[in-house]
Structure 1
């Protein structure tokens, strides 16, 4: 593999994008993508993630702020002069060219004639060495996606931008390609900035994830941190599912906070609270459905001491194969979700059955009780942020 050029962090400084006088796609944003990392911009359509990516690529001019790649300010550079390449959801392969010719196109357009060795390296990288003479229509969707990645990487960009590149693939193939993209990024060692609406995709591939909502970064961190310690209700429910229970703080001492909800006292670590609660403060207590254990009320005595616990009633049960999803009505709230792995199913846990929910207090988190916007988007089908359309290419298309 030919060495990639020395690069640097991608830095967005006060960058924003406004259309006309009324619509702001991206509010002023400061963001740093460390060199050599896999970074994901995650959010629903309209959140500003694709607009942000297009400003890095040079396909959108920022209204304010600067785009820096290492020490170079590229804000006013056109796309073809930036050390950046983009892979789009459509792949944009040339149907009349072979796979070898598609990958070589960018080099030949720059006047480089001896491309055989570099193309062969790229084909090996994406594990398509035997497909050089085929044409795009003879490849599967996943193979076409790998060709698009190889065509972008052969230019040795400082940064590879990926705009929903897996959105057109079916679920099984998409999961395979997540592993492939991560492998490729690790092997070539350059910065990947990946836009997606799929939270599982972002968590599976990215070193760091920026969750965007309404043109702002709601929370930034590694996938484990975002999932285990969300700081807003939006993040808690966009990355998976969370049970959010209205509660009131009773006390806080020794690194632990006690709250009351539905007439029951619950405990949680103080460092898992979005802000330091005071006695009498309202907050939202969160617990992920898979963290909760469920037993029939007749077995309540088997619940270990020291666990957070609620009594409730099964409202519904859905068999999902790997697990069963239960909806529980309790004094703390209706339709609390619980996922129970199907190892030894308790046939008594049917709608109407009395149950006890219990979980380790360490798995509990707390958020400020700020209401979510009623129009806050939820995970949805693939899409892009609203933006004027420009030619979908950066440096390697006709």
Structure 2
């Protein structure tokens, strides 16, 4: 009997090797029942392999899979209480929407399916399209049919393998909200695999960021974004300015840092590394947390804020915000996103400026890491992280999408 505290899915020491290649290193993972859980990472990070081991489509090299407290490691896919929705939906082209959704029930020998199918079509808002064939539907409608066909079997867990990947940008964003609505209404555990940061951040209660077959960091979207635990997470989930600094002193819960002669302050509680005076630390700040002021207005900057002088080398107007690239003594390319509310005509390439921000918005990372880790991890053809002409970086960075 499953109790409220029993995870819907528990992976214990699970791993997968193909010859000498390790696709998934041993990992432990517990997915809360009734949650929307995302496995997020770039292509080849092991997220789909992990999902397939949960589904029974791949045998783990080591470790166990439990569903609702039951060890299902040795069970074939059809005996596991899960259903999977794939990117291509796999709808039957010769059957209409109604019969596609009813297929699983009829296969189990259930004769009276009208009410169940009707309720499921209403859930996905396709009741009026019940007699249409798949080719007569939009991509988003086909995706909802696939979800309805999977949910009607009442699985304990619904697995979604890049289900929105074939949709265009606008429709994919609509379907993100639709999937979250459906999951909230039915209360079934959803495990969603994606390489799209916005997708994971928008829908999931909990996100596991995967990198090279390991879970790099696990948490709710806001915590992952505000408190990244590694340079990979800081760069992969949105954009981060990472500044190489040295600890000049400590005290009063603060780390006093220096970088190229500039003084910065970092709350000790927001530093992931154990450091003392003389140690190196990467001070990070998100571009939308920074304020850009012309050098002539420097005296108006409130006391106590971190500040860095520089010069604008590039600017891009993108709808509700403008992205600036700043050359500074502490870093050659600092990025800052400025909302287009009251535009300062002096902020043009070549202008002397001061970047300033609340020290509480600074996070600290171990300087022994690769400062560029994760920057190129999302560049695998994903339109959701693609051309800046399609998106607004201030909004997308706040959601965890590289601008």
TM-score range, shorter chain: over 0.9
TM superposition shift of 1:378: 1.3
The match for 1:167 is 165
1:204-243 equivalence runs, <5 A = 204-243=202-241
How far does residue 382 in structure 1 lie from its aligned partner after superposition?
Answer: 4.9
Change (3 A) 1:213 1:71: same
Q: Deviations over 1:123-157 (max 9, x none)?
A: 00001110100011111100110000000000000
Q: CA deviation at 1:373?
A: 9.0
Shift of 1:5: 12
With structure 1 as the length reference, what TM-score do the two structures score?
Answer: 0.93
Name the counterpart of 2:128. Answer: 130
Give the structure 2 partner of residue 259 of structure 1: 257
Q: Which runs of 5+ in 1 are unaligned?
A: 384-398
Partner of 1:378: 377
Tell me how many residue pairs correspond in the alignment.
379
Partner of residue 97, structure 2 = 99
Corresponding position of 1:40: 38
Q: Tell me, yes or no, if the aligned pair for 1:43 and 1:213 is still in contact at 8 Å.
A: yes
Q: Deviation string for 1:288-312 (max 9, x for gaps)?
A: 0000000110111111111000110
C-alpha displacement of 1:374: 7.5
Query: Do the aligned partners of 1:164 and 1:382 also contact (CA within 8 Å) in 2?
Result: no
Q: SS of the counterpart of 1:327? A: strand
1:61 corresponding residue in structure 2: 59
- Equivalent position of 1:181 in the other structure: 179
Aligned counterpart, 2:17: 18
Q: How far does the alpha carbon of each residue in 1:191-244 deviate from its partner, in whole angstroms, 9 at most, with x for none?
A: 000000011110110000000000000000000110000010000010000000
Q: Offset at 1:181? A: 0.5
Please list the CA deviations of residues 51-110 of structure 1 after superposition, one character each: whole Å capped at 9, or x if unmatched. Answer: 000000001000000000122101111111000000001011011100000001111111
CA contact (8 A) 2:10 2:30 kept: yes
Deviation at 1:268, TM superposition (A): 1.6
C-alpha deviation, 1:188, in angstroms: 0.4
| Alignment counterpart, residue 195 of structure 1, candidates 154, 168, 193 | 193
**Cα distance, 1:347 vs structure 2:** 1.1
TM-score by length of 2: 0.92
Q: Distance in 2 between matches of 1:214 and 1:233?
A: 14
Q: Tell whether 2:182 aligns with 1:157.
A: no
More deviation, 35-44/109-118: 109-118
Correspondence for 2:358: 360
Superposed CA RMSD in Å reads 1.7
- Higher RCO (CA-CA < 8 Å; seq separation 6+): 1
Moved over 4 A (4+): 4-8, 373-377
SS of 1:119's equivalent in the other structure is: helix
Give, in whole Å, the separation in 2 of the partners of 1:179 and 1:140. Answer: 17
Provide the secondary structure at the position in 2 that maps to 1:185: helix
Listed as ranges, the gaps of 5+ residues in structure 2 are 384-403
CA distance in 1, matches of 2:342, 2:372: 40
Q: Measured at CA, do residues 375 and 279 of structure 1 come closer, stay the same or move farther in structure 2, by a change above 3 Å?
A: closer
Aligned partners of 2:243 and 2:330 also within 8 Å:
yes
